[in-house]
Amino acid sequence: MGKATLVIMAAGIGSRFGGGIKQLEPVGPNGEIIMDYSIYDALEAGFDKVVFVIRRDLEKDFKEVIGNRIEKQVEVGYAFQELADIPAQYKDKFPGRTKPWGTGQAILCCRDLVQEPFLVINADDYYGKQAYREAFVHLQKMKEMPAGEKLPVCMVGFVLKNTLSENGGVTRGVCRVNEAHMLTDIVETHNIVKTQEGAAVVLEDGRREEIDVESEVSMNMWGLTPDFFSVLESGFDRFLAETPAENLKAEYLLPTIIGELLRTGQADVKVLQSHDKWFGVTYKEDKESVVRAVQELIAQGHYQRGKF
């Protein structure tokens, strides 16, 4: 069986979660968190290593809640995403900045820990078993692809209507996919809300623009190869150089990065499809529905009580 690493992005501050550490909130009958189920599904699919991307100030809590347990089941690594982890020439450029630089920087933090194809996920999203099986199989194919001009990338896509929160707006990478299931464009879209008619994007001036709820969206479940790190590194340097010093909220985001690679012909992105139900904790109020969803999965036999 081939090797593949699961990279879990868990460095988010969780401001929408009332300031708490939403990634560590228990949702299972024995205190399991969403990451327990993600890791269980990934190992079942064939993944043999887990790398957590966290903040250093979370390390103690993180290891106590999940890390120490997972280390008994699989090889584990830790990458630390920090605001100051940027090239020296930009250290003094953003004196008012208080948070790290987004998902692109998060993955770049793993460059010394990952030497095999890897799958990126969010810590607070449940993706379903099929998503991991599809991703693992395709990562093995990517490993065998001959080196070429374009980077091989894959993405597990979800239907927008199945990824909305009842409790507020969400950010999704809205995709265009051709008949061959290749990604042709992706746009990071903020503040998508559920409406009576379906869904809408709430603009900064308060106006709403309808969006097709059947749209395919990215939930940051990306399959990548180690060659992607060099692209991230050069792109991050360019991003920091071009970002104005007064822009304290700019983020180096995977959907934006991959969208640019598509537009410039530097990557081919295969879109894998999962029919499993996604759920996640964006807002504190989402927890109750996630707990119910986990209970239903256990009742259906997908997980056993006390298995973790």
pLDDT at 19: 56
Task: Return all residues near 47 (Cβ < 8 A) that are at least 6 apart.
Answer: 4, 5, 6, 74, 119, 132, 136
66: which DSSP letter? I
User: pLDDT over 70 for what percent of the chain?
Assistant: 96
Please answer whether residues 127 and 274 qualify as being in contact, where contact means their C-beta atoms are separated by less than 8 angstroms: yes
Over range 4-21, report the average pLDDT: 74
pLDDT at 40: 96
Torsion sign across C-alpha atoms 266, 278, 174, 206: negative
- Neighbouring C-beta atoms of residue 53, cutoff 10 Å: 26
pLDDT(305) > 80: no
For the ranges 66-75, 87-96, 223-232, 277-286, which has the lowest average pLDDT? 277-286
Q: Of 152, 189, 170, which is closest to residue 272 (Cα–Cα)?
A: 152
Rg (CA), the chain: 19
Mean pLDDT across the chain: 91
Task: Return all residues near 265 (Cβ < 8 A) that are at least 6 apart.
Answer: 150
User: pLDDT over 90 for what percent of the chain?
Assistant: 71
pLDDT in tens, 39-82: 999 999 999 999 999 988 888 888 988 999 999 999 999 999 99
Please answer whether residues 286 and 167 qualify as being in contact, where contact means their C-beta atoms are separated by less than 8 angstroms: yes
pLDDT in tens, 248-257: 999 999 988 9
Over range 114-129, report the average pLDDT: 95
What CATH number has the domain spanning 5-299? 3.90.550.10
Residue 69 corresponds to which tokens in the numbers above?
A: 């347990």
Three-state DSSP class for residue 186: strand
pLDDT at 1: 58
pLDDT at 20: 63
